[in-house]
Structure 1
Amino acid sequence: MRHLVFLLSLSSVCFFTRSEIADNNFSKCKMFFLNNAPPDFTPPAGVSVKPICQCLWDDNDQQLYLFATLYSTTWKIPVYSAYLFGSPNIGRCDAWYIEPQALNSDYKNSGYNKGHLYPVLHTSNHLSMLATSTLTNVAPQKSDFNQNAWLRHEEAIKEDLKSCDEAYVVTGVVPDTEAPKLKNRVTVAKYYWRATCCLKNNQYTGMGYYGPDKNGEVQKLTITNLKKKLNDVYQICFFPTQYTEDSGDWVVL
């Protein structure tokens, strides 16, 4: 693979970069959203966001888009990352890509881990695995939660989704705007959340997750209840489908 210069580019192309500022519809990476439609997100007042198409070049110098991220330049953490679940997962390599918006030094001796939104456990190829290690795909996460309850959750999701014909995932954070920022720059994550949408037997089934709760664990809840929890911080609609609360099934419109 060619040597990559890992800079967040404001240009409209991804040449020599691994991230591309996208239009509001994520037109070059819309395939990572159900029905090619990104979540309908309303940021709080005074919070700026930028859509990013995460990309790399393969061995044949072909540009590959690997997942999508809505990144807050105000909080300096992602609001969410969206991806297609892949299984089985492959080995991990932590080669962190430098981004002008966030720096490795922000996390040094902070007591927080770099918490992946799109985790290595949910990737199925080498390039996707590499692409997850960008600072636009992580937020400060308490180490105990990251290495225990959230890891168990990611492993459980891997088992739940591997039998799907296809599965769309949106993972995000709830910022802790009252906590001290890392290096007076980076807002820490108070909660992590995930919404999944699994196609199986011609039906989409959705599920939501939210944590840590008061016991330090990850709650499993309906998509509707996940949205209600997040409405305390911001409004977001994950999937452009009709949801039947009683059955938990997603019916494609």
Structure 2
Amino acid sequence: MLLGLLLICVGWHTTPGGAEVVTSFEATCPRVFFRNTPPRIGLTPARLVRICQRYENQYRYATMYDKPNRIPLYSAYIYTPGNAKRPQNWMVEPQLVRSSLQPEMTSEKDLLKKRVTLAELRESQAVLQDYKNLIDYNRGHLNPNSHQPDLDAKKSTFTLTNTVPQYTKLNCGSWENYEDKTMKVKTQGCKETFAVVGAVPGNNYIAGGRVNKPSHLWSAACCYINNNRIRSWAMIATNDKDAVEELTLGQLEGKLAGLYQQNSISLFHSDCPRQ
């Protein structure tokens, strides 16, 4: 598929002044990636923005944001589920509007008080209005709040830069089952689990053509069992059916290469097993 194209059923300390919109994940928030190695997907850099997602003065996870389509291409995080309550309030990314704005995510209301117009905000990213009155689709997290350890970490996932229009039955059905049940089974025995969850831009849009509706959603994970053993697994789903297909990491990378029209794709460091 050409790239040009509700409600869904670990952070680390940094110093003040760190930015969210960055030129390099490796230089700013490498810890979120398995062996400090971001995915290599090979899409046009000019349309993609790297965000080290920051909340309460901590980098929580990383997002590659497709600014023209107003959806994340992927979010990468460390799987650390906790029992804090589910947040409700949604946020946006100020530095997608202007680099001089604050580096932490905030609410639309607060951002619009800081000499930012609604037109500027709408031009830079998706807004809450884009997701109102949807039929059969809702806001789907790539990095789900259920995979985060505490309330602040969970709140950080409630940014529209971590959200895509997801088929409601999938979001509250097979995909939710994968997030909440399959991941618990797959991570048994894992000392640390790194996840990357992404979307393949499709040919359809919501909000009058503003926000792309992905054709597929996918998820991959790589975990340390001990110093000599590493485990991986992967999933993919078409974004109009309530079904998830389990794959090996290598199979997912091969399938994504076709969907993204790339010669090859690498989601993790080469030490992560592909079979």
1:81 aligns with 2:75: yes
The answer to whether structure 1 residue 219 and structure 2 residue 263 are counterparts is no
Residues 82 and 170, structure 1, Cα contact 8 Å, conserved in 2 = yes
State the AA in 1 paired with 2:144.
P
**Alpha-carbon distance in 1 for matches of 2:140, 2:240:** 19
Residue by residue, what CA displacement relative to the aligned partner does 1:150-201 show, whole Å, maximum 9, x if unpaired? 101101213422541000000001111x223433210012211001001113
Query: Match for residue 94 of structure 1?
Result: 88
Q: Tell me which stretches of 4 or more aligned residues in structure 1 moved more than 3 Å.
A: 212-215, 242-245
Aligned pair partner of 1:106 in 109, 120, 130: 130
Equivalent positions of 1:195-206 (< 5 A) are: 195-202=220-227, 203-206=229-232
Partners of 2:148 and 2:185 in 1: CA distance? 13
| Residue 215 (structure 2) pairs with residue 190 (structure 1) | yes
Contact 1:87 1:162 in 2 (8 A): no
**What's the TM-score once normalised by structure 1's chain length?**
0.82
Match of 2:105 in 1: none
1:6 aligns with: none
Following superposition, the deviation at residue 74 of structure 1 comes to 1.5
Structure 1's unaligned 5+ residue stretches are 1-12, 58-62, 249-253
Question: Of 112, 115, 123, which aligns to 2:148?
Answer: 123
**Structure 1 residue corresponding to 2:58, chosen from 61, 64, 74:** 64
What is the 5 A alignment of 1:1-253?
Answer: 20-43=20-43, 48-57=47-56, 63-99=57-93, 100=121, 101-111=125-135, 112-155=137-180, 156-161=182-187, 163-176=189-202, 178-202=203-227, 203-212=229-238, 216-234=242-260, 235=262, 236-242=265-271, 244-245=273-274, 248=275
Contact residue 71 and residue 164 of structure 2 kept, 8 A: yes
Quote the sequence identity (%).
32
Unaligned ranges ≥5, structure 2: 1-14, 94-120
Q: Cα distance, 1:244 vs. partner? A: 4.8
Alignment CA distance shift 1:141-1:47 (3 Å): farther
SS in 2 for 1:208: strand
TM-score under structure 2 length normalisation? 0.75
Distance 1:214 1:187, change over 3 A: closer
Equivalent pair of 1:98/1:134 in contact (CA under 8 Å): yes
1:27 Cα deviation after fit: 1.8
Could you tell me whether the CA contact under 8 Å between 2:87 and 2:151 is conserved in 1?
no
In the aligned structure 2, how far is the partner of 1:191 from the partner of 1:180? Answer: 14
Structure 2 counterpart of 1:8 = none
Q: Deviations over 1:7-28 (max 9, x none)?
A: xxxxxx976x9x7101133422
Per the alignment, in what secondary structure is the counterpart of residue 232 of structure 1? helix
Q: How much has 1:93 moved relative to structure 2?
A: 1.1
Give the Å deviation of 1:37.
Answer: 1.4
Local SS of the residue matching 2:208: coil
Query: Cα 1:53–1:226, aligned 2, differ >3 Å: closer, same or farther?
Result: same
RMSD: 2.3
Give the Cα–Cα distance (whole angstroms) in 2 for the partners of residues 105 and 68 of structure 1: 24
Deviates more, 1:30-39 or 1:156-165: 156-165
1:227–1:14 distance in 2 versus 1, CA, 3 Å: farther
Pairwise CA distance, 1:243: 5.0
Q: Determine the C-alpha separation between the residues in 1 that align with 2:211 and 2:240.
A: 24
Separation in 2, partners of 1:56, 1:145 = 29
User: What is the aligned length?
Assistant: 225
